[in-house]
Amino acid sequence: MAGPAKIEVPEGLGKPLDERSVQKLREDFPILKQLVHGKPLVYLDNAATSQKPRQVIDAIADYYESYNSNVHRGLHALSEQATQAYEGARGIVRSFLNADEDREIIFVKGTTEGINLVASSYGRAHLQQGDEIIISEMEHHSNIVPWQILCEEKGAVLKVVPFNDDGELLLDEYERMLGPRTKLVSMTYISNALGTVNPVKSIIEIAHERGVPVLIDGAQAVPHRPVDVQDLDCDFFVFSSHKVFGPTGMGILYGKAEILDSMPPYQGGGDMIRSVTFEKTTYNDLPYKFEAGTPNVAGAIGLGSALEYVSRIGMNNIEEYEKSLLSYATEAVSSIEGVRIIGTASQKAGVLSFLLDQVHAHDVGTVLDTEGVAIRTGHHCAQPVMKHYGIAATARASLAFYNTRADIDALVKGLDKVIEVFTL
């Protein structure tokens, strides 16, 4: 079933963002209005998960209040309405990513499940002993471990592209690593620990020159910049709904139809079959072949609503606004004595990881919390990144379009408090 062809952007929206328009948008986010430890919440943990606008919360509530039903099964009115909304959401995702066809959009639980699906299905079908998969040193654990499991099973080899101390991939090394045994490249678009924006278009082009398909982990890209999978020409692209203002438990695996068609099912069950007998089961077409069991209908509807929401603002506008906010934050935090920024690539987005001299990252996070400032501290599920710098953890402030310079000022004030507490 085809979804809406295009996301409609009402007139007046889609203008460049500034502090004033962002203040107005913040009103859409009920959670941002609260006090934490008696202080206004300053939410700077968006790389972990983002907050949800009223529109997304309402779309989910409306599904449960008015047309909750299973999809692709019933002929009754509610089931048809639910099916339409679910498939409509698939159309919205297709339009958002500029994929060619709805059947290239597979609903999964999140980035992690999307990568596991490819490792399990594509990997099982195409890898043999001695084959190679290339990832990078800056991957999230979810783009490392599924490949390690696969390599162990198949006797294949995982190769890792290193990065320099600024957090930029060494592309020469990457080119050298690509060889006749390379079966897949899987790389992050934006590092969740460093904020580096990788040159994924070149990475894909270089792999394709050698006939190697590429998976892009877009978990940290989709909330911050426009993504066009046809322009990138990636073979797979994965992201999580909860990082782009949608609900948890939902994510997307995009794959080129031809390649998805050639892959065996990932899980068996209802909805993914055409017919079942004990002698022979035939599988359903894309995308249903990869969506076994009752899907997360509310999740899909919520994600669709979130993508419409950010499309109305304009992903270009979000990218531009956040670029200026990140430079403001970088300048402000760098000017604090004893701060060391981890991740100084020339192309960065969304993330400011840092260390404070003599203070453990966890203590930084704990004191900031008492000031109402929420950041993440730790290894960010990217332990190899920590190992590169010989550290155990960083403090990480991560941005969304609803953050303002006042949020950064509150972070800086909080860091002054940390220094006061720990240098007494």
φ/ψ of 278, rounded to 5, equals: -70, -20
Tell me whether residue 144 or residue 333 sits nearer to ligand 7TS (CB atom). Answer: 144
For ligand 7TS, the closer of residues 256 and 396 by Cβ is 396
220 binds ligand 7TS (CB under 6 A): yes
Among 48, 149, 257, 259, binds ligand 7TS (CB under 6 A): 48
Q: Is 224 in the site for ligand 7TS (CB under 6 A)?
A: no
Candidates 6-14, 70-78, 140-148, 177-185: pick the segment binding ligand 7TS (CB under 6 A).
Answer: 140-148
Count of residues that interact with ligand 7TS, criterion CB under 6 A: 17
List the one residue from 51, 192, 311, 404 that touches ligand 7TS (CB under 6 A): 192
Instruction: Name the minimum Å distance from CB 174 to ligand 7TS.
Output: 18
Taking the complex as a whole, the smallest distance from the CB of residue 415 to ligand 7TS amounts, in Å, to 20
The nearer residue to ligand 7TS, 297 or 351, going by C-beta atoms, is: 351
270: β partners: none
Residue 137 touching ligand 7TS (CB under 6 A): no
- Which C-beta is closer to ligand 7TS: that of 45 or that of 87? 45
Identify the active-site residue in 7, 381, 391, 412.
381
Q: Using omega within 30 degrees of 0 as the cis cutoff, is the peptide bond preceding 264 cis?
A: no
How many residues are listed for the chain in this entry? 424
Which of these ranges, 75-83, 98-106, 108-116, 402-410, lies near ligand 7TS under the rule CB under 6 A?
108-116
Rounded CA-CA distance 175/86 in Å is 41
Query: Quick check: 4 and 88 in contact, CB under 8 A?
Result: yes
Should residue 296 be labelled a site residue for ligand 7TS when binding is judged by CB under 6 A? no
Number of neighbours of residue 125 by Cβ within 10 angstroms: 10
Residue 15 DSSP code? P
Q: What is the DSSP string of 305-340?
A: HHHHHHHHH-HHHHHHHHHHHHHHHHHHHHTSTTEE
156 token code pair: 């294949």
Q: Does 381 qualify as catalytic in the annotation?
A: yes
314 in contact with ligand 7TS (CB under 6 A): no
With beta carbons less than 8 A apart as the criterion, state whether 288 and 271 touch. yes
**217 contributes a contact to ligand 7TS by CB under 6 A:** yes
Answer yes or no: are the C-beta atoms of 260 and 309 closer than 8 Å: no
> Min. distance of Cβ 24 from ligand 7TS in angstroms?
28
Distance from C-alpha of 263 to C-alpha of 283, rounded to nearest angstrom: 11
| CA separation, residue 326 to residues 54, 77, 152, 344 (Å) | 26, 48, 40, 12
| By the rule CB under 6 A, 305 interacts with ligand 7TS | no
Going by their DSSP bridges, the two strands 39-40 and 251-255 should be labelled as unpaired
Q: Is 287 in the site for ligand 7TS (CB under 6 A)?
A: no
DSSP β-ladder status, 351-356 and 273-276: unpaired
Closest approach, Cβ 138 to ligand 7TS, in A, equals 9
Q: So which residues are the catalytic ones?
A: 381
Q: Using CB under 6 A as the criterion, which residues of the chain lie in contact with ligand 7TS when the complex forms?
A: 47-48, 110-112, 140, 142-143, 188, 192, 217, 219-220, 240, 376, 380-381
